[in-house]
Amino acid sequence: MSSSIPNENIAPLWNYVTKLDKRGEVGGTWNFKCNFCGESRNGSYSRVKVLLLQVNGQGIDICKKVTQQDKIEMTRAEEEFERKKKESGAKDVPLPCQSQSELNYSSKK
């Protein structure tokens, strides 16, 4: 089973499931449906990886409809994504400055 054109900005295994709805306002938990077996599940990307890459011993059922060829394709895509993410390195993110009144308040505590 092949996916549509992958988006390089998202983790590649999301292309092999259908996101149904977001769970909660923060975090990466979704209700999703496996494009191979059609079963609905919920969880974050780590659960998608366990499901599709058939990682046993994680307390999550694996998808038995994923073929060996599908698994090889998805593993390569995941490894390439992780390599690019690692090569991009850490990014400097400026933190918001505290106002003078906040600084004075915290020093009085």
Q: Quick check: is 1 in a domain?
A: no
Domain enclosing residue 80, as ranges: 12-89
Q: Quick check: is 108 in a domain?
A: no
Model confidence pLDDT, tens digit, residues 8-36: 568 999 999 999 999 888 888 999 999 99
Give me the pLDDT at residue 27, please: 83
Question: In which band, very low, low, confident or very high, does the pLDDT at 2 lie, cut at 50, 70 and 90?
Answer: very low
Q: Tell me the C-alpha to C-alpha distance, in Å, between residue 102 and each of 38, 98, 106.
A: 52, 6, 6
Mean pLDDT, the chain, integer: 84
Q: Quick check: is 96 in a domain?
A: no
Q: Which of 91, 34, 19 is nearest to 64 (CA)?
A: 34
Q: What distance in Å separates the CA atoms of residue 67 and residue 53, rounded to the nearest whole number?
A: 10
Q: Quick check: is 21 in a domain?
A: yes
Q: Quick check: is 99 in a domain?
A: no
Domain count, the chain: 1
**pLDDT exceeds cutoff 70 at 66:** yes
Q: Quick check: is 4 in a domain?
A: no
Share of the chain above pLDDT 90, in %: 58
Q: Quick check: is 95 in a domain?
A: no
